[in-house]
Chains A and B, each alone.
Chain A
Amino acid sequence: MTPACASARRARPLLGTFVEVAAYAAARPVVDAAIEEAFQALAEVHGLMSFHERPSDVSRLNREAADHPVPVHPLTYRVLEAALELHRRSAGVFDVGVAPAMEMLGLLPRDGGMEKPAETSAPGSESIELLPECRVRFRDPGIRIDLGGIAKGFAVDLAVATLRRRGIWQGLVNAGGDLAVFGPGLQTIHVRDPRDPSRLVCEVAVRGEALASTGGRFDPCRAARSGGLAVIDPRRRRPIDGIAGATVRAPSCLIADALTKVVVIAGESAITLLDHYDASALFVSRDGDVRVTSSWREAERRAA
């Protein structure tokens, strides 16, 4: 028996990339309304957590939180809580406080205002203080945060929750490679080769899971090659070398997104953290060596 089914797939430019939302439900109006609401959720996260937009929570924190506690949206607060937990559990490898180092290296634009010199000894996430009632204070005036390594994954999770709440029984949200699927069906994901985005490194079958990749940014309008990884090793305040890109599958996209950064920085030693979050990973070295965790294989078997 085939249930009455309507589906749609849409894409919009959001979060600096193209975000795709696909949804299956019993009736067309349900699909359309749910997709619209999912995009609104994605746009809300974009508006709150963009490093580039002046009214965003992130921009306000970077301007004011060193001077006084700044109230933020509960969603921003939730992402910061998750970011600080990841910072703690990864022994400082995951750090949303590396914006000054990224600005110095030209990976992020500097804000227009006064310049605080970015020093290699700049403070990291440990100087972010989460206060009651969704207020945030920075203990160190030198810190600036960038949620780019985690907000996209969070936005995907939020969009998925929205779709489910609106009666979608199967779907996918893909924010430029950070994605989550839900529903009974098996969905195939093609993973680009981080050394050459015109090639694929593998296909992955996923069901009810999230998958995220880090492998540089690229614009096929201009070139076939991807730029370097926009990931900073917070301990050395320098871009990482050795690993060209990583893909992580995890129960949530926030975790998958954040852990890709840990894997490209920490390499094989990320395994304990991956296990803790029930995640598995694949990474590609610059020399073409591909490694997967044993849990990646298990996840593949489970999905199939």
Chain B
Amino acid sequence: MSHWIRWTVPPAIIASLATPSIAMQYLSVEQAQKAVFPDATQFVIAHIVYTPAQVAAIEKQSGQKVRTRGEQVWRAQAGAQLLGFFIVDYVIGKHLVIDYAVGLLPDGRVKQVEIMEYRESYGGEVANRDWLAQFAGKTSRDRLAVDTDIRNISGATLSSQHVTEGVKRILAIYDTCLR
């Protein structure tokens, strides 16, 4: 029969465990492309720059504010045949930045959503523009997702609501700009 023990955490451990900044890299753009469309032979850049009318249409359909001037889109092709659209997007909030990729089939149905990079930070860095600068051009870097700096986290359940909303906005982008 077990019993309960009061657990006193050594002060040194508490200090080392305070304010974690959690960073996970799962996939580079190229890796994500292969993961979402393994049969594609080429990814043709088809980035979008919104017109004001498109911004209005996307915001109306998704119920969300458009915060970027455009979207990074690739046409996934097997030879000349269109397999779908590969889109890289991010969500950003108070303590969090997530880069994720969405694969859409040619008819606009979601094929797959992959998290590419996850960064959680509690020093206010996420809101800082300089800190954000490291993300500029992030998608052109071929960074390998290696098994370092990886943490397995348990505890309060992280909501993925913001990514779900992001995917909804991407569906509105499809209807407005890609269909």
The stretch that binds B, out of A3-11, A58-66, A161-169, is A3-11
Within 8 A of B (CB), among A172-196: 172, 174, 176-179, 181, 187-194
Task: A213 to B161: give the CA distance in the assembly, Å.
Answer: 19
A280 to B7, CA, bound (A): 14
- Smallest Cβ-Cβ distance to B126: which chain A residue: A220
Count, chain A residues at interface, CB 8 A: 67
Does B179 sit within 8 A of A, measured CB to CB?
no
Interface residues of B in 140-179 (CB under 8 A from A): 145, 147, 150-164, 167
User: What does DSSP make chain B's interface, helix, strand, loop or mixed?
Assistant: mixed
CA distance A293 to B122 in the complex (A): 31
Q: Give CA–CA (A217, B155) in the complex, Å.
A: 9
For B1, list chain A residues within 8 Å (CB). Answer: 271-272, 275
Interface of A is mostly: strand
Does chain A have a CB within 8 A of B12? no
- Chain A CB count within 10 A is highest, among B6, B18, B20, B157, for B157
A192 to B156: give the CA distance in the assembly, Å: 7
Closest to B31 in A: A8
Question: Could you list some 13 contacts between A and B, CB below 8 A?
Answer: A13-B167, A17-B160, A20-B152, A177-B157, A192-B155, A197-B155, A197-B156, A200-B17, A201-B17, A215-B155, A220-B158, A271-B1, A272-B1
Residues of A within 8 A of B (CB): 7-14, 16-18, 20, 32, 172, 174, 176-179, 181, 187-194, 197-204, 211-213, 215-224, 226, 245, 247, 268, 271-272, 274-275, 280, 282, 289-295, 297
